């Protein structure tokens, strides 16, 4: 029996070892896929035809050394040697009608060549050395036009399903798609398009951008609540000469990066003379297909080492959730002798829910850029570049259709795409699909025109005072550019049988300069020991205190009545000055379980309710933040950005019966350090000091969290009010490896998990004066002798298929004593749920 099993395993092994596989795509000289090309193994009847997308897969249980390519339409027969058994990512290129026999076979080599052995390395060195010379900013001055279009829609919809969904509009769609030979069984349905025409002027790293025209078109539900339009904010302008390319919140190593040779495999595959210049074609492949890298090719001119064309695409194995693939294609134009500048660029992102299969229905985002009519070395005076035209509303640059028809930058298919969108506006089924996308991305549902309910993700929570906490919220919403918006929420506690609520109104008083006025009124139970610094004192956007699953007891809630008036002045999109006045009354939500008593200065009388009036002035600077939208509520792109926030609070005793004079100063610094293929480090540092004796609600507890969730910038193993300070410093550092480590571990890499590590600390003190006036039921302890810290690691991107929203953290803490007879846990496991990429 053992001999039979041994023979069977040996036979299977020999079959698998001798098997030959060839997988690839056939292109013509214009990089278009070619169908009906016969691919076969020499001397056998084993063959296949390339598909409508040029793809083919050929395999045999035997070992073969020669591939035969037959293209009957051009009477072409060509033999290609195979130097390995498994050949993936093969590109068979039909270069021209006169030289069709020059078919090139490109695949990833088994062995990475050393720098001395690889002729591509010398060319790469030339590219690195001439980066600055080939950058547009090296010019004395430049003017040019830019046309940008963003198109978003549904793709890979089965034609049978499309007929049912589209109804009468299907025929119109098919007529438009008839020009596309590949649009037969699967079709794409556009639902949103935004076009932008700009004139760009530059001089010595100063740049002025004038918007000349803008046109938007989308289905009725598209953009409601910034759902679909926010999803379209995938790509910023991409410069492959930079070391890293940022898409969404991820950083990809560019194939032109000086670090590229450590993560890519390069192959010089072609060198031809074009217009008197020797032009090289270099193909590149990721060494690890799961990393945030691309595969593709680029052309580079000898001597000046300027890239003329580059095409790159992510692999199917890329370790990103919800993403099927990204592709980038850029073509450069020779605008003067030996100087190439961007011409046409095409970016595309494809997103799916269940798998990365190319035939799965999903959502696509396409961005096309056309830079043209360059005018070089004719500078304007310095004052010209300081004149900026600021867009303050979405229709400010609307132009008639004639303007776009005559625009030389517009794509040939633009008008057809717009016709499809216009024809589908009344289609209820398509609107239902896009509405679902909007609800999933915003959490809001239309009640009727002008009113939405949400957020759905905050409907149910729990704590020890209220028991089950049921919440329902509403907001006014006519368009994304509303100048006036009201937000309201109501909460009912099943155990305390009390109704709580909050209402907020914000109004765009001026667009230029941008000034927003806000006012709010709140009566609710809040967990003040979990609050984070915020530039605005309107309704709280989130609460760490309420969750369905938690550890320990949470009786430490404060009942708050708060009225706020807020003034926000935007010097620009990323520099804001915020001024607010706050009048509030604070007491324990249940005095029997949690005391917040205190005494007034120079008095022994016990007080149980604090009355406070204070003003707040904060300055917020967020360089590099992508801001869009022209209504009272703007939105931000996915790309992380640094934050610098300085806030000063002044309390006034006697004003509106306020009990205390005090001064408080707080500083927050947040930064995201992109470390190329090593991942991204998210770091934040917060410092604060209260300069006068104040009761507990005005002090600064170290931010704790007793839920079992992953809550950013809080301490998971602290109970509420374990540490209370009037002078503090807290730091949070979290490094996401983006698969860099787990992608390299056999078997585990198939799970597509990503690892992270974190460290956070708190240090602070509390004065004797503050200890003496506070008579509440907590211990007034601050981490002044020893720094309190938490540390650990986590696994993220956990899930199934292409949707992986889960995260698991393993947390330890430094040594600490007991509080009121309770010792906080020394180890914990926390769970996170955050749909992302």
149 and 101 in a common domain: no
Choosing from 433, 463, 478, the residue where a domain stops is 433
Structural domain includes residue 80: yes
304 and 163 in a common domain: yes
517 and 393 in a common domain: no
61 and 141 in a common domain: no
DSSP letter string, 519-583:
EEEEEEEE-GGG----S--SS-S--TT--SSBSS-----EEEEEEEEEEEEEEETTEEEEEEEEE
Contact 362, 154 (CB under 8 A): yes
Query: In b/e form, how buried is each residue of 385-413, taking b as 16+ CB within 10 angstroms?
Result: beeeeeeeebeebeeeeeebeebebbbeb
Structural domain includes residue 1: no
On the question of a cis peptide bond just before residue 620, with omega within 30 degrees of 0, the verdict is: no
130 and 101 in a common domain: no
620 and 533 in a common domain: yes
454 and 383 in a common domain: no
**How many angstroms separate the CA atoms of 459 and 548, rounded?**
11
423 and 449 in a common domain: no
Q: For residue 323, which of 359, 293, 347, 355 has the smallest C-alpha distance?
A: 355
459 and 413 in a common domain: no
Query: What pLDDT shows up at residue 353?
Result: 85
Measured in residues, the chain has a length of: 837
Q: For residue 248, which of 230, 225, 223, 222 has the smallest C-alpha distance?
A: 230
Structural domain includes residue 327: yes
Query: What pLDDT shows up at residue 820?
Result: 65
97 and 178 in a common domain: no
Query: What pLDDT shows up at residue 231?
Result: 62
Q: 418 — phi, psi (to 5°)?
A: -65, -35
Structural domain includes residue 115: no
Residue ranges in the chain whose pLDDT is less than 70: 1-19, 29-31, 74-75, 83-84, 88-89, 95-111, 159-186, 220-232, 275, 408-409, 411-412, 542-548, 818-821
DSSP letter string, 814-825:
-----BTTBPPP
Query: What pLDDT shows up at residue 54?
Result: 83
Contact 759, 729 (CB under 8 A): no
Cα–Cα–Cα angle for 30, 35, 39, rounded to 5 degrees? 110
Query: What pLDDT shows up at residue 248?
Result: 84
Structural domain includes residue 136: yes
Cα–Cα–Cα angle for 241, 244, 249, rounded to 5 degrees? 140
Query: What pLDDT shows up at residue 170?
Result: 66
Q: What total of structural domains would you count in the chain?
A: 3
Structural domain includes residue 116: no
Structural domain includes residue 379: yes
Contact 545, 597 (CB under 8 A): no
Choosing from 76, 107, 138, the residue where a domain stops is 107
Q: Which tokens belong to 53?
A: 């997308």
Q: Could you read off the pLDDT of 237-265 as tens digits, one per residue? A: 889 999 999 888 888 999 999 999 889 99
- Domain with 41, as residue range(s), is 16-107
What is the DSSP pairing of strand 86-94 with strand 20-27?
Answer: parallel
696 and 771 in a common domain: yes
Q: Which residue has the tokens 């301490």?
A: 715
Contact 693, 770 (CB under 8 A): yes
Structural domain includes residue 114: no
Alpha helical stretches, state H, 695-783: 768-773
Q: Which residue has the tokens 């003379």?
A: 273
Q: For residue 149, which of 418, 392, 481 has the smallest C-alpha distance?
A: 418
Q: Model's pTM, two decimal places?
A: 0.81
Contact 645, 619 (CB under 8 A): yes
Query: What pLDDT shows up at residue 222?
Result: 46
Which CATH number fits the domain that encloses residue 62? 2.60.40.10
Choosing from 389, 408, 433, the residue where a domain stops is 433
503 and 402 in a common domain: no
HSE-CB of 393 using CA atoms within 13 angstroms: 9
DSSP letter string, 73-126:
GGTEEEEEE--SSEEEEEEEEE--STTTT-EEEE---SSPPPTTT-HHHHHHHH
Query: What pLDDT shows up at residue 4?
Result: 43
Which CATH number fits the domain that encloses residue 548? 2.40.160.50
């Amino acid at each position: 029996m053992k001999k039979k099993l041994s023979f069977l395993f040996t036979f299977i092994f020999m079959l698998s070892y001798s098997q030959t596989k060839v997988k690839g795509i056939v292109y013509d000289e214009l990089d278009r896929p070619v169908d009906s090309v016969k691919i076969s193994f020499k001397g056998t009847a084993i063959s296949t035809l390339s598909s409508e997308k040029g793809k083919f897969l050929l395999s045999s249980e035997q070992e073969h050394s020669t591939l035969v390519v037959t293209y009957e339409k051009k009477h072409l027969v060509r033999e290609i040697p195979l130097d390995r058994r498994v050949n993936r990512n093969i590109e068979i290129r039909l270069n021209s009608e006169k030289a069709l026999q020059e078919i090139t076979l490109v695949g990833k080599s088994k062995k990475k060549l050393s720098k001395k052995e690889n002729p591509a390395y010398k060319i790469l060195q030339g590219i690195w050395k001439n980066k600055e010379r080939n950058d547009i900013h090296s010019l004395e001055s430049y003017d040019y036009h830019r046309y940008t279009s963003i198109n978003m829609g549904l793709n890979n919809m089965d034609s049978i399903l499309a007929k049912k969904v589209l109804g009468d509009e299907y025929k119109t769609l098919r007529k438009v798609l008839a020009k596309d030979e590949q649009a037969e069984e699967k079709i794409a349905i556009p639902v949103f398009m935004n076009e932008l025409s700009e004139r760009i002027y530059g001089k010595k790293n100063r740049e002025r951008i004038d918007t000349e025209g803008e046109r938007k078109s989308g289905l009725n539900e598209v953009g409601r609540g910034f759902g679909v339009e926010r999803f379209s904010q995938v790509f910023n302008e991409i410069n492959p000469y930079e070391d890293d390319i940022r898409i969404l919140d991820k950083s990809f190593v560019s194939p032109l990066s000086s670090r590229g040779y450590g993560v890519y495999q390069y192959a010089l595959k072609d060198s031809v003379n074009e217009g008197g210049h020797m032009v090289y074609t270099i193909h590149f492949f990721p060494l690890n297909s799961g990393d945030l890298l691309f595969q593709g090719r680029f052309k580079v001119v000898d001597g000046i080492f300027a890239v003329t064309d580059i095409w790159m695409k992510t692999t199917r194995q890329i370790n990103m959730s919800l993403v099927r693939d990204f592709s980038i294609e850029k073509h450069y134009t020779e605008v003067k002798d030996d100087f190439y500048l961007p011409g046409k660029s095409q970016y595309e992102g494809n997103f799916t829910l269940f798998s990365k299969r190319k035939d799965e229905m999903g959502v696509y985002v396409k961005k096309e850029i056309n830079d043209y009519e360059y005018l070089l070395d004719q500078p304007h005076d310095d004052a010209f570049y300081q004149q900026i035209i600021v867009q303050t509303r979405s229709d400010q640059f609307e132009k008639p259709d004639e303007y776009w028809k005559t625009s030389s930058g517009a794509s040939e298919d633009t008008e057809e795409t717009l016709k499809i969108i216009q024809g589908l506006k009344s289609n209820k089924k398509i609107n239902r699909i896009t509405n679902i996308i909007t609800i999933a991305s915003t959490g809001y549902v239309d009640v009727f025109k002008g009113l939405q309910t949400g957020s759905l993700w905050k409907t149910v929570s729990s704590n020890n005072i209220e028991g089950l906490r049921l919440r329902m919220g509403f907001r006014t919403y006519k368009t994304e550019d509303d100048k006036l918006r009201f937000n309201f929420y109501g909460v009912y506690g099943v155990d305390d049988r009390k109704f709580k609520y909050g209402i907020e109104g914000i109004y765009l008083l001026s667009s230029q300069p941008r000034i927003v006025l806000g006012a709010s009124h709140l009566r609710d139970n809040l967990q003040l020991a979990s609050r984070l610094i915020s530039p605005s004192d309107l309704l709280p956007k989130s609460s760490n205190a309420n969750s369905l699953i938690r550890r320990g007891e949470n009786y430490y809630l404060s009942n708050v009545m708060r009225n706020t008036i807020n003034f926000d002045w935007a010097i620009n999109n990323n520099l804001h000055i915020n001024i607010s006045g706050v009048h509030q009354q604070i007491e324990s939500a249940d005095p029997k379980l949690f005391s917040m008593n205190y005494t007034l200065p120079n008095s022994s009388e016990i007080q149980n309710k604090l009355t406070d009036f204070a003003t707040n002035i904060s300055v917020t600077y967020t360089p590099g933040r992508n801001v869009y939208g022209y209504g009272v509520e703007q939105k931000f792109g996915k790309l992380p950005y640094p934050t610098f926030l300085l806030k000063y609070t002044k309390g006034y005793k006697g004003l509106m019966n306020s009990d205390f004079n005090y001064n408080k100063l707080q500083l927050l610094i947040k930064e995201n350090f992109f470390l190329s293929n090593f991942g991204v480090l998210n770091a934040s540092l917060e410092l604060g000091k209260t300069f006068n004796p104040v009761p507990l609600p005005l002090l600064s507890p170290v931010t704790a969290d007793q839920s079992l969730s992953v809550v950013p910038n809080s301490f998971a193993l602290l109970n509420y009010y374990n540490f209370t300070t009037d002078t503090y410093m807290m730091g949070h550092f979290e490094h996401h490896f983006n698969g860099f480590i787990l992608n390299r571990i056999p078997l585990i890499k198939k799970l597509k998990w990503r690892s992270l590590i974190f460290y956070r600390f708190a240090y602070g003190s509390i004065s004797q004066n503050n200890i003496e006036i506070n008579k509440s039921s907590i211990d007034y302890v601050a981490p002044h002798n020893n720094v309190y810290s938490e540390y650990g690691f986590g696994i993220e991107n956990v899930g199934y298929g292409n949707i992986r929203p889960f995260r698991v953290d393993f947390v330890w803490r430094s040594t600490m004593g007991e509080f009121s007879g309770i010792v906080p846990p020394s180890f914990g496991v926390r769970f996170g749920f955050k749909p992302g990429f």
